[in-house]
């Protein structure tokens, strides 16, 4: 079995032959009373317990992991939990790193620590590690996923990929199927900016504060129930502002950057968890199928080649 694992700052996504799993990237040092032995809520890293996923909200609320999360013990707790959920040892696991983090030394350190750390599941058993682990740049998974979904002709084109994550938008470029390493960039303009604007607008209208997850519900359906009362919020203007102020400006900046590399662009692909919110507000850009899972699926497709 091979697997693609996309550990994002908002959500972690797992894709393999048999599973498609999404859980919030919430992790807190410590274990809730009664969780020892219940079999599904915590991971230990070097004998330190960490509660991962939905159950971590009870310990830490809806606070997301910080930007220095990658490579920390909390990161390995999330990765260990993802591997534990598979219930089967994968032969190959492919993960991603933002272009700004992607370098040989960082990857070597991440893999070395994973194999050297003592990572155990809720029963106290060692979490089986994949025989081979490989990291590829974040956003490339979106490309591989799109190509595998009946779009093989994209391998003959120059394609820009924009991955809208929680904290950043990551941009990558493929030239006739080849990843152009010098074209990878990260912009500090993730979906967290849109969520913060939703929270601010809600607070201004209703005089109370909401969590990130509640703001996401408003983005999806424009309403939420609070103390038995349905609250609505017109998010159109907020989303349009995000598209104009962030996405469009980043595309313009990246277009100038790519031009400086003497490259042309035939197609732009948009993926990542934030992409689904923008579907009705953009033109001349292709949003890939299942944008939240696209990186994980693409990592899986890449793993099948190894």
| CA 296/CA 18 separation, integer angstroms | 13
Asked if residue 121 is part of any domain, the answer here is yes
- 155 found inside a domain: no
Q: What is the mean pLDDT of residues 201-225?
A: 92
Of 23-37, 82-96, 134-148, 227-241, minimum mean pLDDT range: 23-37
Average pLDDT over residues 240-269: 94
Q: Which of 18-27, 52-61, 97-106, 227-236 has the lowest mean pLDDT?
A: 52-61
Query: Residue 244 pLDDT more than 50?
Result: yes
Task: Determine the pLDDT at residue 146.
Answer: 98
Task: Evaluate whether residue 64 is within a structural domain.
Answer: yes
**Domain contains 253:** no
For residue 64, is pLDDT > 80? no
Task: Average the pLDDT over 176-180 and give the result.
Answer: 96
The domain that contains 90 carries what CATH number? 3.30.420.40
Average pLDDT over residues 45-70: 79
Angle 60-62-63 (CA atoms, 0-180°, nearest 5)? 70
CB contact at 8 A, 80 and 45: yes
**How far apart, in whole angstroms, are the C-alpha atoms of residue 234 and residue 237?**
7
The answer, yes or no, to whether residue 208 has pLDDT greater than 50, is yes
Please tell me the predicted confidence (pLDDT) of residue 39.
45
User: Over 80: is that where the pLDDT of 286 sits?
Assistant: yes
Domain carrying residue 120:
2-139+297-303
Quote the CA–CA distance of 79 and 61 in Å, as a whole number: 20
- Mapped onto helix, strand or coil, the DSSP state of residue 58 is helix
* Confidence at residue 129, expressed as pLDDT on a 0 to 100 scale: 95
Q: pLDDT digit string (tens) for 1-44?
A: 999 999 999 999 999 999 999 999 999 888 765 554 444 578 99
Mean pLDDT of the chain: 91
Q: What is the total count of domains within the chain?
A: 1
Is 204 within a domain? no
DSSP assignment string, 16-48: ESS-EEEEE--EEEB--TT-TTSSSSEEEETTE
Q: What is the pLDDT of residue 228?
A: 86
pLDDT for res 275: 94
Residue 87 lies inside a defined structural domain of this protein? yes
Element (H, E) at 226: strand 223-226
Q: Give the pLDDT confidence of 122-168 residue by residue, as tens digits.
A: 999 999 999 999 999 999 999 999 999 999 999 999 999 999 999 99
The string of DSSP codes covering 167-213 is S-EEEEEEETTEE-GGG-EEES--HHHHHHHHHHHHHHHHSS---HH
Residue 90 binned pLDDT confidence (cut-offs 50, 70, 90): very high
**pTM value surpassing 0.85:** yes
Q: Residue 61 has what pLDDT?
A: 55
User: Do 119 and 133 meet the contact criterion of CB atoms below 8 Å apart?
Assistant: no
């Amino acid at each position: 079995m091979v697997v693609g694992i996309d550990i994002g700052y908002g959500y972690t996504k797992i894709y393999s032959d048999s599973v498609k799993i999404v859980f919030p990237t919430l992790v807190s040092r410590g274990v809730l009373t009664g969780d020892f032995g219940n079999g599904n809520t915590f991971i230990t890293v070097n004998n330190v317990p960490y509660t991962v996923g939905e159950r971590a909200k009870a310990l830490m609320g809806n606070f997301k992991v910080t930007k220095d999360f990658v490579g920390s013990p909390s990161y390995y707790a999330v990765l260990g939990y993802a591997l534990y959920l598979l219930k089967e040892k994968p032969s190959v696991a492919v993960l991603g790193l933002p272009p700004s983090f992607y370098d040989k030394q960082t990857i070597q350190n991440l893999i070395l620590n994973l194999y050297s750390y003592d990572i155990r599941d809720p029963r106290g058993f060692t979490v089986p590690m994949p025989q081979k682990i490989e990291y590829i740049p974040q956003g490339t998974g979106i490309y591989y996923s799109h190509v595998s979904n009946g779009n093989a002709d994209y391998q003959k084109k120059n394609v820009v990929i924009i991955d809208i994550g929680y904290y950043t938008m990551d941009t990558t470029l493929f030239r006739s199927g080849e990843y152009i390493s010098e074209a990878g960039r990260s912009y500090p303009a993730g979906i967290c900016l849109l969520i913060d604007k939703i929270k601010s607008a809600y607070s201004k209208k209703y005089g109370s504060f909401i969590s990130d997850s509640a703001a996401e519900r408003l983005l999806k359906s424009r309403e939420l129930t609070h103390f038995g009362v349905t609250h609505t919020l017109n998010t159109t203007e907020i989303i349009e502002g995000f598209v104009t102020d962030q996405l469009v400006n980043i595309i313009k900046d990246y277009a100038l950057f790519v031009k400086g590399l003497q490259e042309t662009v035939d197609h732009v692909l948009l993926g990542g968890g934030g992409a689904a919110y923008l579907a009705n507000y953009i033109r001349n850009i292709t949003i890939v199928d299942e944008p939240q899972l696209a990186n994980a699926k693409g990592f899986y497709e890449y793993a099948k080649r190894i």
